[in-house]
Structure 1
Amino acid sequence: MAQSLVKSGSKLSLLTFISRILGLVREMTKASFLGTSALSDAFTVAFIIPNLLRRLFAENSISVAFIPTFRHYLEADNKTEIKDFLSAVFTLVSFLTTVVVIIGILIAPLIIPFFGTATSETILLTRIMFPYLAVISIAAFFQGILNSIRIFSPSGFTPILFNLCVIGCTYLLHEKAGNPARAMAIGVLIGGIIQAGFQLPFVLKSGFRFFFVSLKKAFSNPGTRTVLKLIAPTIIGMAAYQLNDLVSTLLAGNAGPGVVSSLQYSLRLQELILGIFAVSIGTVILPDLSGLAARKNWESFNTLLLQAMNTIALITIPITFFSLVSGENIIILLFKNRNFSEESVFLTLTAFNWHISGLYFIALNRIIAPAFYAQQDTKSPTIAGVVSFSVNIIMAILLVKPMRGGGIALALSFASAANTVLLVFFLQKKDPEAFRKIIVPTLLYAVKMLVFSVIAALPVWYFKSAIYQPFASLGRIAGQTIPLICSALIFGLVGIILLKISRDPILGRVAAAVGGKLRKTKDTDKDKTDSGEN
């Protein structure tokens, strides 16, 4: 099962890695053209609103309600019922998102002033990007179909196309559009359309068909009723979670120029790691967890969940400590160019240090939540989300004045930790035996990784000046890249030695999986050679 998890997630992780790298390039492009200027804040606010609604309705619906329900239809294997269910969901998604888009465009002038960026440019950018909500929701529907049948690559590839569209439009249209922010907004809309269009052929090739039906028929479909029943409670919890971003942006917009943008640059770095591993693993295990829950195979369910949680600890805790030691150098390398000044570096680093501190908890939430969704328990994550939202808002309000962007970032990390604690509590309450088998080993493993990460970070921190000083005269790119690689090698080497000494089981399974793949490739090449000789 562990090797299956590694194998299933490897392709998606590779695609997600490429996507996140391009997402980083997208932010580098934004930093180069806009820096932390008022125009950069305007674009950030304009994009946050439709993007927040996307996360709330599209991603939430797919992970919480659509995939578990669709898996039950697939188990029954009734083609007529499957077609009716998909048609009903497709109709509802199309209709509801279109209505929201129209309303959003009309009331944009009433929403924007709350963010401290009440300019005509912000309103225009918001109106350009609001239709993105509709097309990306359709794309999420296609993704849900494909992920339910364990096809992950097309959905993993579409964010690559999206980032390429935004980057390309920024460079090609920044003069014709009037300014770089408008060019990026056009790229966002085009990228969303491509994300939906690219996945459709794969859905049709898999044999699924769906059509527009009447709203009455869509709402009366038993499957959509199940979906709505599952998603209704979580809308509150997810809305609270997503409102964290909205309220944080509102507070940041009133905390001074550049704070909104610096928080987004910081989050982009955090999401680079989060998206590659936590989202990929969470996406891969949800269909499996749903299937195991449906068959009531709780032993395999708990084993899969434990392996996923330990894998997250193995990845995120070391990365957190390396990022804390090398954060300033990473930000200088990636963003410091043209309009991204020393002040921009300082603002982004302040936020990044506190954002990255909560990486493990945010990633862990992405793994634990699907365990509840797979069992069709939406109440527990909802309560955790509401409490987490409350903690975040209270902390942000208290900390934004003395710490500005750093206070908002710290509040989010603290709230993520609170969310994790609550999810663990509900897991224990649901099944004490599962708590003993999953949480206790996970906690011990996390403590081990914490100790190993501190040990690995010490030489990087102590010898930092000696590592960077020889390359200071080589310019920003070489002067930061070479010592960063050296630092990462030192950190990684110490970490691997410690894992090897402790005979870490996850490291052993990964090594076995990679070794098996290499042996298979070698045997295949040998067979081809022997065949050619004969």
Structure 2
Amino acid sequence: MNLLKSMGTIGGLTMVSRVFGFAREMLMSRIMGASGAADAFLVAFRLPNTFRRLFGEGAFSAGFVPLFSQRFHGPGGMEEAKRFSEEVLAFFVPALLVFTAIFEVAMPLFVWAIASGYADEPEKFALTVFLSRITFLYLLLISLVSFFSGILNSLTKFAAAAFAPALLNVAMLIALLVVPTGGERSATALAVGVTAGGVLQLLLLWNSARKAGVSLTLRRPKMTPDVRQFFVVVIPATLGAGVYQISQLIDTFFATRLPEGSMSYLNYSDRLNQLPLSVIGTALGTAILPHISRFISQDNPGEAAKVQGQAVDLSMLLCLPAAIALGVAAPPLVAALFQGGRFTAYDAMVTGNVLALIASGLPAYVLVKVITPGFYARKDTKTPVKTAAIVLIANVVLNFALIPPFGIYGLAMAISACSWLNAIMLYVILSRRGHFRIEGWLWSRIGRQLLSGLVMAAALWGTRSLLGDWFAGSVGQRMIGVVALCGVGGFVYFATAFVVGGIDRNAILILLRKKKAV
């Protein structure tokens, strides 16, 4: 398997989406600021995203991709895989329609449950409910997108699914450009943009699946043996994802009880943290799941473990410097990207501090994405449920302990700590079962990558000190300062990693020789 190529396809197109996402967030911060309307929209946007990850992406992929791959690579080939897909879709669509209808009716109650801090502000609460009813339609659309993404990923056709999120960001950008007044009007336009983006994503993925030879017919629901097997796998995965998403809703609950703007600070810091998480962690997790599933179905656990080892090596090579750089350069980075208009210097300062704390858990976030396929490929979706339940309890305890003295910073500390707890537990369990262990050479490689990151941190700190006035200057000066930080940090890290052996030098030299031969 060409892991680097698969990860490059997914990560590169994810980066395109993230660029549009940053443009959207930069414009939104200036138009909306850290206002009550911005907080209301962010709560409304978090609701469908939470259930999307619960039903659409994590749980569905965990259950669907290994089973689809098993049939596709089995004697029945594409015909059996298509039949299986139609049988699952027959249950998936009605369930989504019923679930969406229930929440549209009960939305005030649900918003009160997760954002009761807004109940004392009737106008803000009513706006949050109104926006949530618009954005919740996105759940139906994006869950179907995830269904077709699972089919394409199983066929190792990653491009369309990786690019699809860019359409959501484009739709929201257009909404802001059409209604740039701020307040409730811009928040409503953003909510409409979310649903419009979901329509565009679904059209893209449906058409891509059709071109790949997977044209599906909607059948009447029928409980076949294959559907039973799917539910046996996907229900525990849904429970596991549900525990994690409840943790996210708990974070929302606490954030809505903090001073106005806290949801905005959490959103903008998470946006920057999500860039390496999506480009590295999600891309690698998506790329390796079908391949690990194939090796497991072929009774070749050695190759499956090798794939995971390569993924850990590559993920740490890329995410360790990202985490360290975000920790060192968070304040100027946030100021350069988001400060301006209604988003003040104080807002940028708080967001930067929150980002630095959340980014300390970035390597753990990425490791979870890389380790979890080791369970899902073996159709073990119960173990992640158990670890997620422990993490949920720890999250609640840490929030109650850290938020009173530290406010929004305590919330960020709890998020980071729980990510490390989850990653460590998953790795220990997988290792004790003999499925995957980080061997000596890989520990040594990670240690050298960490050393390279510390050298980079010193270079970044020096560059930040030299360009201190630039980060307090005009937008252009701030952007130039950020480019300088990225350039210096990237050069120092990869140069040091190459010298000390943090990179597989032989692979790099082979790659360079291939390019010269071309």
Alignment TM-score, normalising by the size of structure 2: 0.94
**CA deviation vs aligned residue, 1:298-332 (integer Å, no higher than 9, x gap):** 22111111010011111111111111111111100
Could you say what secondary structure the match of 2:394 adopts? helix
7-16 vs 328-337, which deviates more?
7-16
Counterpart of 2:384? 381
- 1:319-360: CA deviations, max 9, x gaps? 111111111111001100111012211221221111100000
Q: For residue 92 of structure 1, what is the aligned residue in structure 2? A: 91
State the AA in 2 paired with 1:519: A
User: CA offset at residue 143 of structure 1?
Assistant: 0.5
In structure 2, the CA distance between the partners of 1:196 and 1:518, relative to structure 1 (3 Å rule), is farther
Deviation at 1:510, TM superposition (A): 4.1
**Partners of 1:337 and 1:492 in 2: CA distance:** 27
Give the structure 2 partner of residue 10 of structure 1.
8
* Aligned counterparts, 1:39-58, within 5 A: 39-58=37-56
Correspondence for 1:501: 499
Q: Please show how residues 508-519 of structure 1 align to structure 2 within 5 Å.
A: 508-510=506-508, 512-513=510-511, 515-517=513-515, 519=517
Q: Per-residue deviation at 1:440?
A: 4.6
Q: Tell me whether 1:208 sits opposite 2:214 in the alignment.
A: yes
What's the secondary structure of 2:51's corresponding residue?
helix
AA in 1 matched with 2:128: T
Report the alpha carbon displacement of residue 376 of structure 1 after superposing the two structures with TM.
1.2
Output the CA distance in 1 between the equivalents of 2:112 and 2:465.
46
Give the Cα separation in 2 of the matches to 1:375 and 1:416: 23
Offset at residue 465 of structure 1 (A) = 2.4
Give yes or no for contact 2:38–2:183 (8 Å, CA) kept in 1.
no
**Separation (CA, whole Å) in 1 of partners of 2:138 and 2:417:** 31
What do residues 348-377 of structure 1 show as CA deviations (whole Å, max 9, x unaligned)?
122111110000000010000011111111
- In structure 2, which of residues 23, 35, 55 is the aligned counterpart of residue 25 of structure 1? 23
Could you say which residue in structure 2 is the equivalent of 1:462? 462
- The correspondence for 1:133, drawn from 139, 143, 150, is 139
- Code of the aligned partner of 2:96: T
Instruction: Return the alpha-carbon distance in structure 1 between the equivalents of residues 357 and 182 of structure 2.
Output: 39
**CA 1:313–1:31: 2 relative to 1, 3 Å:** same
User: How does 1:298-377 map onto structure 2 within 5 Å?
Assistant: 298-377=301-380
Structure 1 residue 448: deviation in Å? 2.3
- Runs of at least 5 residues in structure 1 that lack an aligned partner in the other structure: 521-534
Kept in 1, the 8 Å contact 2:20–2:170? The answer is yes
CA displacement at 1:482 relative to structure 2: 2.0
Which residues of 2 match residues 157-236 of structure 1 at below 5 A?
Answer: 157-174=163-180, 179-215=185-221, 217=222, 220-236=223-239
Do the aligned partners of 2:387 and 2:425 also contact (CA within 8 Å) in 1? yes
Secondary structure at 1:179 match in 2: helix
Q: Please tell me the residue identity of whatever aligns with 1:191.
A: G
Q: Distance between the aligned counterparts of 2:49 and 2:28, measured in 1?
A: 17
Q: 1:405 is matched with which residue?
A: 408
What is the CA–CA distance in structure 2 between the aligned matches of 1:66 and 1:362, rounded to whole Å? 23
Write the letter of the residue equivalent to 1:303: K
Structure 1 residue 393 corresponds to structure 2 residue 396:
yes
Matched residue of 1:468: which SS? coil
**Distance change in 2, residues 1:402/1:293 (3 Å):** same
Aligned to 1:35: 33
| Aligned equivalents of 1:90, 1:518: Cα separation in 2 | 48
Gaps of 5+ in 2: 120-124
Once the two structures are superposed, what CA deviation does each residue of 1:114-136 show, in whole Å capped at 9, x if it has no partner?
31224211110000111110111
State the partner residue of 1:151.
Answer: 157
Q: What is the SS of the residue equivalent to 1:76?
A: coil
Query: 2:122 maps to which residue?
Result: none
Q: Is the 8 A contact 1:321 1:457 kept in 2?
A: yes
Instruction: Report if aligned partners of 1:161, 1:191 keep a CA contact under 8 Å in 2.
Output: yes
- Of 160-169 and 74-83, more deviation after overlay is shown by 74-83
- Give the paired residue count: 510
- Contact preservation (8 Å) 1:399, 1:407: yes
C-alpha displacement at 1:446, in angstroms? Answer: 2.6
Residue of structure 1 in register with 2:299 after alignment: 296
Residue 265 of structure 2 corresponds to 262
Name 2:118's counterpart in structure 1: 117
Which residue pairs with 2:245 in the alignment? 242
Question: Structure 2: which amino acid aligns with 1:137?
Answer: S
The answer to whether the 8 A contact 1:236-1:386 is kept is: no
Identity of counterpart residues, as a percentage? 28
Moved more, 169-178 or 28-37: 169-178
Superposition deviation, residue 445 in structure 1: 2.9
For 2:238 and 2:273, the matched residues in 1 are separated by 25
In structure 2, what is the Cα distance between the partners aligned to 1:281 and 1:32?
A: 33
Instruction: Give, in whole Å, the separation in 2 of the partners of 1:321 and 1:445.
Output: 17
**Aligned counterparts, 1:70-81, within 5 A:** 70-78=68-76, 80-81=79-80
TM-superposition CA deviations, 1:8-51 (whole Å, max 9, x none):
22122111011111111121122111111111110011111111
Using structure 1 for the length normalisation, give the TM-score: 0.91
Counterparts of 1:488 and 1:413 in 2: how far apart (Å)?
Answer: 24
CA distance in 2: counterparts of 1:379 and 1:294, whole angstroms: 19
Bigger mean CA deviation after superposition, 443-452 or 296-305:
443-452
